[in-house]
Amino acid sequence: MLSGVTVSCFMLSYLVVLALEATRPFCKVPFRNWLSAGMLTAGIIAHGTFLYYQFAQSLNGSGHLFADWFQWVQVGSFVLAIVCLVLLLRNPNTGVSLFLVPIILLLSVLGLLFREAGSFSIAPGQQVALWRWVHTLSLLIGTVLIGLGAAFGGMYLVQADRLKRKVGGLRKLKLPPLEFQQSVNRLCLLATPVFLGVGMVSGILLKLSESDSVPWFDGGIAATAILFLWSLLAAGWEFLSSGSLGGRRSARLAIANFLFMMMVLLALVLSSHGLAGQGEESSPMQSPAEVSS
Amino acid sequence: MPWGMIGWSHHHTPLEVREKLAFSKSQVDDALRRFQQLFPRCEAVLLSTCNRVEMYVATDSAEVFPGLDAIGRFLADYHGLSYADIAAQLMRLPDEEAIRHLFMVASALDSMVIGEAQILSQVKQAYDQACQASTARTLMHQLFQRATMVARRVANETEIQKRRVSIPSVAVSEIAAEFFERFDDKHILLIGAGEMGTETLRYLIDAGANCIEIINRSPEKSQELAQQFPATAVPWEELYERLAVADLVISTTGAEQPVVHRDTFRAARTAHHARAVLILDLAVPRDFESSIAELPDVYLYTLDDLRKVCDRNVEARQREWPKATRIVDQELKKFVAESAHRVSGPTIRRLRSQADEIKREELARLLAKLESREVDPEICKEIEVAFDRLVNKLLHPPLKSLRDHADSKHHANLLDALRHLFQLKD
């Protein structure tokens, strides 16, 4: 029966959470925090079940996990949903989910766009499998960090603007203190290039293990490299300017990271690299992690 | 059971009079001891704060209740005042009104600033003193324990105490808390020595602040303040330099012109690569030029901004008022019913025992006759059961009436009638 869980099941749960949070400033809902946490948990359970059956199918078919773009992106949104639940429980009565759930939904929708993109071609060999795992997981973490950073970046800008303008009724939509928001932003900004870098290097090593050559001008590699360099630059900028509250810059950088990542992903979906011919899709260098990064 | 409260509060009595009638801690002890000597069968608690002097008195019998005027005279005499002079400003509340008043006071619904939770600790302190003086016994234990419970219910079930309404508390708990997760690693700069600023500093220290600098035109004054708080005094000449490294600034000078100017401030910030800063300008006239608020990463809050938050919170507290008074009324009803039940307990027991005694005597007489006529023991048992049922049925209507009117004013009359009609003796 659980195999009948679809993307719409968990997306609907996340949408309810979003609706509950979006209406927070306008109307009172009894037990709103519990309802939000409950719906988010239900969504995560449905999401996890869905991924479990996806992985089971992949193992039965290709024999590998993360067999296609769709699964990879869905795992990314699943991890973000868990992070969102932790933050919701850590910061009750705040609108954290209002900023994180749209990112989760966006990634899920993006996953749907990748659904028909086909599976990856995976070469046999222990070393290939090792690099593939490192490559996939590090870029996945990098993507999650970029998503989290963007949510907190948006939150920071909204909160900073409200505090600057002394907008009344801050209680109606309470957000965590600016300091906390900035520290999450900073963490995301500094950690992202580490994971993107590991992902990129492991992708190159993966390619070398498979075919002894690297197609340096491949779209996936180029996009990953550009995003990595950008995130490195952003992290350097953030690292060199330490500050207690100077978070607008960090927030803007985190949002820029996310927009950059989305552009790369959308470009790959719309281009022949992302969604065109099956043969091209199954090229090892077009693994989901590379494209999404 | 007579309860009573007599006293003065900020509602009806001006400060000049309240000052004369206030009791210090040692005077409360002394007054309670004297009261005990005068009215040994009374229980009493004396609550004296800067906004009220109230004496709660209770006895287990109406005959020994001294009367509210006698208690008022006692309080006036204690301070050497003429009762006639102050009687007009007195608040005299009998029975349920006194109980309700205490519940309102403990729940901070009668405070000058509604919801100011400090009153509950003052009520508890007054009760503790009365316990130590042995003027609080069974009745006062029940009343004050219930008052504490009511106050907790009001605090937990309404938002009446959740929103701060004083400028310093709002500045720290609502404004600064939107910026900072913790205060122990923040540079805090206090400019001037205004009362509002030092009060805000107290809240910040309570919240964990420990890196505080105080700057004042008069170095003696800043040194003096630095000794009061865990703070460092800084020379006035370093004002802009200290501003550039501060995370949170509180300013309360008495200057007639702004002491911090936009251009100099901006230059200092640029020179020090300053971080974002929260400025609480609590001075009137303002210490910071208003255009400073336009600088990036500078969050400038004036006294008016904070006052608006306070006003909103006061309104929010007032919106919770009906909910809070509903809780008070519910608890009052329960307390009165329970008290009535406790009071009527001995009378009911006496009534039952008297009825049982008559039943036993009559039954014994009847059974003796029946036994002499060799009546079947089963029939004797039936007769015993019939006697029990008869007594229960006869007592049921009066006891039910007593129970039904437990929370009404007629309860005492009914109880009295019951004692007289059935000639119940103590």
Residues B249-281 pLDDT 10s: 999 888 888 999 999 999 998 888 888 899 999
DSSP per residue over B30-42, as a string? HHHHHHHHH-TT-
Q: Is B180 an 8 Å CB contact of chain A? A: yes
Q: What single-letter amino acid sits at B6?
A: I
B contacts of A243 (beta carbons < 8 Å): 275-276
Which of A165, A242, A245 is best to mutate for the B interface (most B CBs within 10 A)?
A245
C-alpha to C-alpha distance for B266 and B278, rounded to whole angstroms? 14
Which of A28, A152, A166 is best to mutate for the B interface (most B CBs within 10 A)?
A166
Nearest to B275 among A163, A177, A246 (CB): A246
Nearest to A164 among B180, B277, B299 (CB): B299
| Residue B50 falls in the annotated catalytic set | yes
Tally of CA atoms within 13 A in the half-sphere of A184 that contains its CB: 25
Contact B398, B418 (CB under 8 A): yes
Burial of B372 (0-12, 13-18, 19+ CB in 10 A): exposed
Contact check, Cβ <8 Å, A243/B305? no
Contact B240, B262 (CB under 8 A): no
Number of domains in chain A: 1
Instruction: Mark B387-408 as b/e (b = at least 16 C-beta within 10 Å).
Output: beeeeeeebeebbeebeebbbe
Instruction: Give residue ranges of A with CB < 8 Å to any B CB.
Output: 159, 163-164, 166, 168-170, 176-180, 183, 241, 243-248
Is residue A245 predicted with pLDDT exceeding 70? no
Contact check, Cβ <8 Å, B275/A245? yes
Q: Is B305 an 8 Å CB contact of chain A? A: yes
Task: To the nearest 10°, report the CA torsion of B138, B139, B140, B146.
Answer: 100
What pLDDT shows up at residue A291? 41
Contact check, Cβ <8 Å, A248/B247? no
Q: Is B182 an 8 Å CB contact of chain A? A: yes
**C-alpha closest to that of B304 among B293, B320, B317:** B293
What pLDDT shows up at residue B312? 86
B374: left (phi over 0), alpha (psi -120 to 50) or beta: left
C-alpha to C-alpha distance for A154 and A255, rounded to whole angstroms? 7
A contacts of B178 (beta carbons < 8 Å): 159, 163, 170, 177-178
Range list of β-strands (E), B240-371: 248-251, 277-281, 298-302
Give how far Cα A250 sits from Cα of A156, A180, B73, Å.
9, 13, 70
What pLDDT shows up at residue A293? 35
C-alpha to C-alpha distance for A196 and B47, rounded to whole angstroms? 68
Q: Is B179 an 8 Å CB contact of chain A? A: yes
Write down the CATH number for the domain with range B3-161: 3.30.460.30
Largest CA distance in chain B: 120
Helix (H) or strand (E) holding B322: helix B303-372
Residue B365's DSSP bridge partners are none
B contacts of A241 (beta carbons < 8 Å): 273
Question: Percent of chain A at pLDDT above 70?
Answer: 82
What pLDDT shows up at residue A278? 44
What pLDDT shows up at residue B111? 85
Alpha carbon of A174: minimum distance to chain B alpha carbons (Å):
9
Q: What is the pLDDT of residues A112-132, one digit of tens each?
A: 887 776 666 666 667 777 888
- Whether a cis peptide bond, with omega within 30° of 0, leads into B285 is yes
- Among A63-77, A176-190, B99-113, B315-329, which is the least confidently predicted range? A63-77
Catalytic member of B50, B131, B211, B310: B50
A contacts of B174 (beta carbons < 8 Å): 170
Structural domain of A206: 2-292
Please name the fold of domain B167-310. Answer: Rossmann fold (3.40.50)
Going B364 to B367 to B371 to B372, the CA torsion angle's sign is: positive
Which residues in chain B land under pLDDT 70?
1, 407-409, 426
| B43-48 and B188-191 beta bridge pairing | unpaired
Q: Where are the domains of chain B?
A: 3-161, 167-310, 341-421
Give how far Cα B211 sits from Cα of B175, B208, B230, Å.
19, 9, 8
pLDDT band at A24 (very low <50, low <70, confident <90, very high): confident
